[in-house]
A and B are shown apart, each in its own frame.
Chain A
Amino acid sequence: MMLASFGAATLASYLVVSGILLVIGVVGFLVRRNLIVMFLCTELMFQGAAIAFVAAGRYYLDYSGQVMVIFILTVAAAEAALALALVVFMHRQRDTLDPDAYGELAE
């Protein structure tokens, strides 16, 4: 199957979209106080990264970009599993999802 032409300007548009997604994810991560939503924001950043990967791979006609997204999915899944387990665990102890409540974990 021959692919349609995909130029540098197209790539740039996709990259900007992915960049905006990443930034929104970062902002979200910074402003939210809910642990679970913070994790969701990281997932949002993952989304941005995934789009950038696929777009770049598409530009170079290389499938490694998509393979990377598979790994991102893997990591996201693993993170979701572990992090959510932790959240459940912590929530059981403190009955809150505010990360500030767990300050002493840092010490």
Chain B
Amino acid sequence: MISIMQSIIATPAGQIDQLVDIVAPTWAQFILWMPLISLVLCGLCAALKVKTKAPAIITVISLATSFVLTLMLYFGYEGAEVIHIFEWIHVHWNGGSFISDFALYIDKLTLLWMLFVTGLGTLIAVYASEYMEHDVGKGYARFFAGVSVFLFAMSCLVMGDNLLMLYLGWEGVGFASYWLIGYFYQRPAAVAAAKKAFIVNRIGDLGLALAIYLIWSTFGTIQYDGISTALAAHNNDAATFSAFGGWTVHAIPYLLMLAAFGKSAQLPLYVWLPDAMEGPTPVSALIHAATMVTAGVYLIARTYPLFQLDDYALPIVAWVGGLTALFAATIGMAQYDIKRIMAYSTVSQLGYMFLGLGVLSSYGAAYHVFTHAFFKAVLFLTCGAIMHGFAGQLDLRKLSGLRKMRGWKIVSYTMLVGCLCLAGFPFTSGYFSKDAILAEAFVTQGSGFEILGWLAIFTAGLTAYYTFRVWFRVCCGPEYYEPGDELHGDDPSSFHPHPPRVAINFVLIAIASGAIIAALPYFMDNETKGINGGWVAEMVHDSPARGGVPNAVVAVVDGEHATAHEGVANAVVDQDHATHGSILGMDPHKAMYYISGVVGMIGLGFAFFFHLARRKAADSLRNKLLASRFTRWLPIAMENKWYVDEFYIAVIRTPLWILGKLFALIDRGIIDGLLVNGIAGTPRAIAKWFSPLHNGAVQSYAVSMIGGAALVILLMMFMPEIMSFLQSTMIGATP
């Protein structure tokens, strides 16, 4: 804080060069500080054992402040800029330096992310103030402190001006997620899930750390600005990037990919996300659906030019994304826990985003992130409300006809909005954002992108099916419910569901409206000439990821800063968009409107048939599949999540654990027992050998004394010979 004060005080006296700093909105750093202040205050509340909702109020106010500041930043935005806060890791030495300041880099991509992060953060904090009320005085402050930590870390991640700041946020959100998943720390499942989330994420972090090392050793800087400049400089020399030396440039995107796959729960590192649903639902909504898991998308968008340096990097991203989408959707179809369904759906939708990134549609990915944030948040929050009202009940077989119950209308219909968006129902926000990705899969020429496109369309059908499976089961049909296992002492027979009150309903409506409105940006006019895709495209265009904005005209050169991005984007875009793909002979952008609409309706129809019209048909289908030897594996494997967790445990965890046990044995037995104690025991063994000499007879001592003296004399007599021998053998050339 002192450094902030200093920078504020110091500016008026500064040189002309620092004018930029004066113009730069230094107050933007309070977007970061507000959650931190909230964290400190919540910590104080916990220490003072405050028994009111004060922590929630504090958090909501500070997060709202952050959101307002972000809005101000957005409306005052004039161009990308760096806001320096203080020196963090600033190592200089003779001939070099490693600089990673605590500084913010603001461009429109940042703002896009920050808008929904802080906005949804505020709303979900409001929601949680009611949702968590049974913990007031117990874990309430801890919960909101965790939310504050998350917001702080997420802001660092998104707003940092260098990769190490991003890493700070990256691990920070991982830690916040650990904190909040393990919120119910007395439930072993929650603790295990928290641990799993952190450790699996750490594998991704490992990739990020190595990528940072590589980037620094290749470009000499880890600041986004510096990297762009370096890239641009080499682009001007030659169209190739081989000047950066061999393998390093090609290895960077794969390491970054590893990080992104870890954080955004893609194959093969997605396993932590479904388990993370052990956390309180607002956490699932905020962290594990809307914001944190999209950090991987952000990372790749932020470092998009680096991915374009390698021919296979983006296609691999696309393939991993596409396969994850399909894979998670198949699991989601067969789950009964609605929160888990949502979790797998999140994994699946994240797969879409990666597909978008991979097929050179960073715009589509960003747009899908944006819309997904709203509709997935609302879905999770409605699940949370249901869970809250039915004492932890999440099994869709044990809930039915919610929309007819008293006080559950808002929940039911906001959930419908979320489901429509997720299923890609025509003219909802999800419909447009998903189409942007699907169309691009056909437009962009790449390794099997067309197959991927068809896979994604098929997955869209599955999505519609499992989404409406939830809604038809839970909200339609006859009224029926069973309470869950969190009765808090109530008698199961006298159980009455308690519908949500003002705070939750308000938030549900607000976010559901957001989900609907999120379709609007698609139709907004573009200020920049030539690009399609509305407001989000505009936002993405002003970032390193502009290479993925359709029809981006990148000839405009205004200032040095702009050329940096333009250059790279130019090269790649020209190359890849030279030939425009097609789908069934039509322009993909237009055709996709119809195709995905139809596929979505088919999925919805199946869901309607199996889960509302003839619910028994679903069970009988399942039984039929189980009865046949050839198809039995399908439902079993899908219900057991394809046994991926078991596979990991068998292939990675158990061998390592056995290795650990083995090492512990080696350590005790061989290294310590045999080597160390062996060497230590040698003198004793030798002593035993000589111990008959010490038989108590004076004369034998005399003999050894005389023998020793004789040896010494002999040694002295032959000393010169011994010395010359030693010198010749041990020390080669004595100077």
Contact = CB atoms under 8 A, between A and B. Distances in A.
A103 B702 contact: no
Nearest to B694: A106
Contact of A99 (B694, B697, B703, B706): B697
Contacts of A29: 699, 702
Interface residues of A, number: 10
Interface in A1-28: 26
Interface string B568-611: 00000000000000000000000000000000000000000000
B696 interface: yes
Contacts of B694: 106
Interface string B693-705: 0101111001100
A95 B280 CA distance: 94
A25 to B, nearest CB: 11
A38 interface: yes
A99 B699 CA distance: 9
A29 B694 CA distance: 17
B601 to A, nearest CB: 102
B703 A30 contact: yes
A26 B704 CA distance: 12
A107 B694 CA distance: 10
Q: Give the secondary structure class of B's interface.
A: helix
Interface string A88-107: 00000000000110010111
A100 B696 CA distance: 8
Nearest to B705: A26
Nearest to A31: B699
Contacts of B706: 26
Nearest to A35: B698
A29 B706 CA distance: 12
B701 to A, nearest CB: 9
A99 B694 CA distance: 14
A107 B703 CA distance: 19
Contacts of A107: 696
B699 A103 contact: no
Contacts of A103: 696-697
Given A26-B706, A30-B703, A38 B698 contact: yes
A103 B701 CA distance: 13
Interface string A37-58: 0100000000000000000000
A29 B697 CA distance: 12
Contacts of A38: 698
Interface string B670-713: 00000000000000000000000010111100110010000000
Contact of A26 (B696, B697, B698, B702): B702
A1 to B, nearest CB: 36
A32 B349 CA distance: 102
Q: Which 10 A-B pairs have the closest CB atoms?
A: A106-B696, A103-B696, A30-B699, A99-B698, A29-B702, A26-B706, A30-B702, A100-B697, A30-B703, A29-B699
18 contacts: A26-B702, A26-B706, A29-B699, A29-B702, A30-B699, A30-B702, A30-B703, A38-B698, A99-B697, A99-B698, A99-B699, A100-B697, A103-B696, A103-B697, A105-B696, A106-B694, A106-B696, A107-B696
